[in-house]
């Protein structure tokens, strides 16, 4: 399970990886909202500057909550998210939430459809399936 906090157009502000209690979910929702407000104010409406604000916010949390000497990962629009996940997420020994911050540092405000498969498969260890759901009553 993953909880996504997004803008109305599907840009991912934040993700909570895995099940958490209500207090944690509320704390993370507040962080996403407050960081989004900050990004809007600091950017003056410039989308690139909004991404930079979110990149820094996720990187700061990665450093603060997961210790170690981190460098901002070098991800570019030319590097598919799946390639980044194979190269970076598996290389660093951090928990799921640390991997989320690392991913969103590299791909700040990415569209949900760009990263959902990576979150589900690389971070949560689940398989995305297009198989129909068995709706028989049990």
Domain locations in the chain as residue ranges: 2-123
Picking from 62, 52, 49, the residue whose alpha carbon sits closest to that of residue 107 is: 52
Sorted by sequence, the CB contacts under 8 Å of residue 49 that are 6+ apart come out as 39, 42, 43
Q: What is the pTM for the complete model shown? A: 0.84
Q: What is the pLDDT along the chain (138 residues), one digit of tens a residue?
A: 999 999 999 999 999 999 999 999 999 999 999 999 999 999 998 999 999 999 999 999 988 888 777 777 665 666 677 777 777 766 666 789 988 998 999 899 999 999 999 999 888 988 887 777 777 665
- DSSP three-state, residue 29: helix
Beta bridge partners, 123, equal none
């Amino acid at each position: 399970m993953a909880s996504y906090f997004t803008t109305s157009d599907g840009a991912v502000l934040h993700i909570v990886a895995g099940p958490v209690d209500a207090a944690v979910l509320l704390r993370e929702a507040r962080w996403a909202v407050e960081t989004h407000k900050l990004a809007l104010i600091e950017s003056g409406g410039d989308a690139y500057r909004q991404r930079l604000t979110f990149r820094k916010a996720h990187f700061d949390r990665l450093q603060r909550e997961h210790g170690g000497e981190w460098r901002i990962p070098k991800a570019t629009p030319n590097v598919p998210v799946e390639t980044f996940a194979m190269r970076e997420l598996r290389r660093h020994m951090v928990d799921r939430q640390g991997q989320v911050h690392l991913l969103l540092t590299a791909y700040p405000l990415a569209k949900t459809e760009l990263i959902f498969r990576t979150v589900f498969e690389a971070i949560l260890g689940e398989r995305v399936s297009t198989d129909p759901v068995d709706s028989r009553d049990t």
